[in-house]
């Protein structure tokens, strides 16, 4: 039983590092801020979740704390990436894509452009 738990922790550690690595590679390679957010805001959070599952098994007394942190992180991650993406759209970072269903809604409500860094 102990050996099985240790093997499960090893798998969680390796999977978490691989998933975080994919997130960072995506952050380095993607062209603009919206596509970068797909990699950073979510994929790296799942890497953190796998590491917390490993800590759940390996660290004594950490079970409920780690589960609480998993719950908090999964609740907070979408609102972080939504707020960054919404700020990017609000200050006018262009969407390099074929379709933009949001653009007509924004233009008819007379948005005034702001200068930004």
Partner 1 sequence: MRFLQISFPLFLVYLALTGNLTLPNLVMGALISSGITLLLPPIALPPFSFSRLPTFLWAGLRYVFVVAWDVIKGTYSTAKIVLDPKLPIQPGIIAIPSGTKTELGTALSAHAITLSPGEMVIAIDEDGVMYTHCLNVEDSARFVAEAQSLRKNLLSKMFE
Partner 2 sequence: MQQILTITIWIVLAAHLLMAFAAVWQTLRGENAVTRLAGLDLTSTLTIAVLVVISIIRQSSIFIDVAIAAAALGYLSTVALAKYISDQKVF
Site residues (CB under 8 A) for partner 2? 3, 6-7, 9-10, 13-14, 16-17, 20-21, 23-24, 27-28, 32-33, 36-37, 40-41, 44-45, 47-48, 51-52, 54-55, 58-62, 65-66, 68-69, 72-73, 76, 79-80, 83-84, 86-88, 90-91, 93, 114, 116-117
Burial label for 12, CB within 10 Å (0-12, 13-18, 19+), is buried
Which of 99, 107, 112, 114 binds partner 1 (CB under 8 A)? It is 99
| Closer Cβ to partner 2, 72 or 102, answer by number | 72
Residue for token pair 């969680």: 12
Reference 66, options 52, 76, 79; nearest CA is 52
Please state, in angstroms and rounded to a whole number, the distance separating the CA atoms of residues 16 and 21: 8
Which of 5, 102, 111, 116 binds partner 1 (CB under 8 A)? It is 102
Q: How far is the CB of 101 from partner 2 (least distance, A)?
A: 20
First to last CA, the chain: 56
């Amino acid at each position: 039983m102990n050996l099985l738990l240790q093997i499960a922790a090893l798998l969680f550690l390796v999977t978490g590092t691989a998933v975080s690595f994919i997130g960072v590679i995506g952050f380095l390679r993607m062209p603009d801020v919206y596509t970068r957010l797909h990699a950073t805001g979510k994929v790296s959070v799942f890497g953190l979740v796998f590491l917390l599952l490993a800590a759940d098994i390996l660290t004594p007394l950490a079970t409920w704390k780690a589960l609480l942190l998993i719950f908090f992180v999964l609740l907070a991650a979408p609102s972080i990436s939504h707020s960054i993406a919404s700020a990017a759209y609000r200050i006018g970072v262009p969407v390099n894509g074929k379709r933009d269903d949001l653009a007509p809604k924004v233009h008819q409500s007379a948005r005034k452009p702001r200068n930004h860094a």
